[in-house]
Structure 1
Amino acid sequence: MQCAPIRCLALTVVTLTLFVTCAAGCRGLSSSVGSDSSREEIARLATEIAALRGLAAAGDEVALADALDRAMVAIPAGEFIMGSDAGRADERPAHRVYLDAFELDRYEVTNAQYRRFMLATGERPPRCWTDNTYPAGQADYPVVGVSWDGADAYCRWAGKRLPTEAEWEKACRGTEGRVYPWGDAWEPGRANVDAAGWDFGGATQDATAATVWDAAWARLALPPGSAGPTLEPVGSHLDGAGPYGVLDMVGNSSEWVADWYNWADYSKLPLRNPLVVGPPWNHCLRGSAWADPTGEPAWTQSLSRCSARNSAHETSDPRVGFRCARSGRSE
């Protein structure tokens, strides 16, 4: 079967790049950005992301979704420090947790990937979509407005699962106990976060929820490059990568994880592969998002910490997306 030259070239680059990245073990970025290994890893990721952008620009949704599905990072088995004694009550105490090896999507699940799932299963589209498709030019943007049930269904359909809270946090901070994915200093330029406190056209936390969310959904329908906070293509902040090379764990979208939200402290939870199931109320969210309708930058910074926890009902939210995990090997 013949294909257009642009598509074939882009797909070849993606395939080669993903092979090289995974052949290197997908172990992630060194904490020393000046090291040779770190520079090589950054160069590999930059090439991979450029190839993904090429597929999106060429309109090759199938090849883009395939490449993103394969882009997983191996996280080795072992202990890490979960939680923070300096954080909020639900982050305490800091404690050692052992996790089996697993793999995690390097990127948040995108519109292109979710549309393929939606067409195959009959799942309803997110609110900002029109005629069963996402806004123009946003194939490689993270899908948002998906309920926890929808995220769980997608991951199962893809042969994966939602990550646990502990898996998400380990991928974010590594074994060094980082405060943010890149280190201990808050640098909002490393992530797609609303550091300035956008007012959403006058809709604030004092307005009705409908007013705030209507304003947020309206922003997501704007064309790429519009002024003010909005989503960005996945992988737009390479310098915000975590210690294993997972991208966008801070900013773009907050992410559903598998656990139900446990509002008590960590003291009663298992120390090996923890997973909270029930009570049937809220599910956990991890990571900050492209927008904070409260207009409080300090809250955005707080939610950007790797140990920070949040929760929501199983409803759609214009700030919330997800990524998938898979139990498996670590080389």
Structure 2
Amino acid sequence: MPLVTQWTGREVKALREAARMSLMDLAEKLGVSDRIISKWERGGPESIPRMVNQAALDTLLAEASPDVHGRFVGLLSVNDPVPRQLIDPAETPVMSGQYVKHQRDGKLMARVPEGIYLAGETDEPVWVDEFHIDTFPTTNADYARFCTAVGHRTPRHWEGGRCPRRLYDHPVVEVSWKDASAYAEWAGKSLPTAEQWEKAARGTTGTIYPWGDQRTAAKCNVRETGVEGTTPVSRYHSGVSPYGIYDMIGNVWEWCSTPTQPGRYELKGSAFTSPLFRGVPSAFNDADDFMQDDDTGFRCVASPEQMTPQDS
């Protein structure tokens, strides 16, 4: 099922059209006036419904049929700056469906079972223990909660220490490895090892990209897509990994816990600034732990023990 981290007028319109509803029909389902629906749709990405309406939209999408899900993804795709093909529900990537919310930071996480996967450019068999990984990269909204909770410094591009509302559901950037590690510790999680990240991105069978072997830049936010900036973390529904994980190629580079030499750590996934080939999950990149770029963020993982609520 498609996931939406933050509903805007763009997603509302796509859902209404995918469900073949009129403004009045959707208004009745949500318990609001048709004028409110019309206002959201006119506002597009800048129009953000209240949280109670966000929850109602989540429920409506969850209860929709697979046909509606397919049309919803397709309508969002054709509204992208670079058009993409409509998604046939039969061609939608198979997801594990095992999403759970982490008890500390409340983020959705996907389960990656223990077992062997084919790793690296030579597809060497590597065993990885079971873990959960954040379905989406850490967003600005996630990071703002962390900074408020512990008094951590905010990214330097946030004016007055506050993130612009329109970027709440974009991945946080300009965070160093140390910043990312501090968030992971606060959340009761860890940064992923390079092997965990790669398995979560490409699955077990050695496919080149999260979605398969097709070289399709339109399934992610990379240089060829032409966006030239970060995008909402739930935007690229057709580019998810076999475990249902978003943005494993493009949008932002992601810090890993794997050191390459003292003070340097691996990065995975590429960014909006990168060509598609740099995002291949088996590819290598690293950086100094103090590096803070506008195309670098992170997501976290949790072991089975870290997923278990701790007694207070």
TM-score (norm 1): 0.63
Cα gap change, 1:138 to 1:282, in 2 (>3 Å) = same
The answer to whether structure 1 residue 316 and structure 2 residue 292 are counterparts is: yes
The letter of the residue matching 1:140 is D
Q: State the percentage of identical aligned residues.
A: 35
Alignment of 1:268-279 (within 5 A): 279=261
Q: 1:325 aligns with which of 286, 289, 301?
A: 301
Q: Which SS does the other structure have where 1:230 is aligned?
A: coil
Alignment of 1:144-159 (within 5 A): 144-159=173-188
Asked if the contact 1:72/1:104 (under 8 Å) is kept, the reply is: yes
The aligned residue for residue 187 of structure 1 is 216
Q: Which SS does the other structure have where 1:131 is aligned?
A: helix
The aligned residue for residue 69 of structure 1 is 106
Q: 1:288 aligns with which of 261, 270, 273?
A: 270
1:8-52, Cα deviation, whole Å (9 max, x unpaired): 2423554898899xxxxxxxxxxxx8676958969x99xx9xxxx
Q: 1:125 aligns with which of 154, 162, 170?
A: 154
How many angstroms apart in 1 are the aligned matches of 2:231 and 2:104?
Answer: 18
1:99-156, Cα deviation, whole Å (9 max, x unpaired): 1110000000000010111112221111211111113411000001100010011011
1:215-260, Cα deviation, whole Å (9 max, x unpaired): xxxxxxxxxxxxx501101011011101111000101101001101
Cα gap change, 1:18 to 1:118, in 2 (>3 Å) = farther
1:174-194, Cα deviation, whole Å (9 max, x unpaired): 011111111112111000111
The letter of the residue matching 2:120 is G
Cα gap change, 1:137 to 1:173, in 2 (>3 Å) = same
Q: 1:306 aligns with which of 259, 281, 291?
A: 281
Which ranges in structure 2 are unaligned for 5 or more consecutive residues? 1-30, 33-49, 65-86, 308-312
How many angstroms apart in 2 are the aligned matches of 1:248 and 1:68?
Answer: 19
Alignment of 1:210-289 (within 5 A): 228-261=227-260, 279-289=261-271
Cα gap change, 1:320 to 1:142, in 2 (>3 Å) = same
Runs of 4 or more consecutive aligned structure 1 residues displaced over 2 Å after TM superposition: 4-20, 33-42, 65-70
How many angstroms apart in 1 are the aligned matches of 2:266 and 2:165?
Answer: 31
Cα gap change, 1:41 to 1:80, in 2 (>3 Å) = closer
The answer to whether structure 1 residue 10 and structure 2 residue 54 are counterparts is: yes
Q: Which SS does the other structure have where 2:199 is aligned?
A: helix
Cα gap change, 1:160 to 1:167, in 2 (>3 Å) = same
TM-score (norm 2): 0.67
The aligned residue for residue 111 of structure 1 is 140
Q: Which SS does the other structure have where 2:160 is aligned?
A: coil
Asked if the contact 1:18/1:71 (under 8 Å) is kept, the reply is: no
How many angstroms apart in 2 are the aligned matches of 1:105 and 1:18?
Answer: 20
How many angstroms apart in 1 are the aligned matches of 2:256 and 2:190?
Answer: 9
The letter of the residue matching 2:281 is C
The letter of the residue matching 1:172 is A
Which ranges in structure 1 are unaligned for 5 or more consecutive residues? 21-32, 49-64, 86-93, 199-227, 262-278, 293-299
The answer to whether structure 1 residue 82 and structure 2 residue 119 are counterparts is: yes
The letter of the residue matching 2:54 is A
1:298-324, Cα deviation, whole Å (9 max, x unpaired): xx2221111011001112111110001
Asked if the contact 2:255/2:268 (under 8 Å) is kept, the reply is: yes
Per the TM alignment, residue 281 of structure 1 is displaced from its structure 2 partner at its CA by 3.2
How many angstroms apart in 2 are the aligned matches of 1:71 and 1:34?
Answer: 25
Q: Which SS does the other structure have where 1:195 is aligned?
A: helix
The aligned residue for residue 204 of structure 1 is none
Asked if the contact 2:268/2:284 (under 8 Å) is kept, the reply is: yes
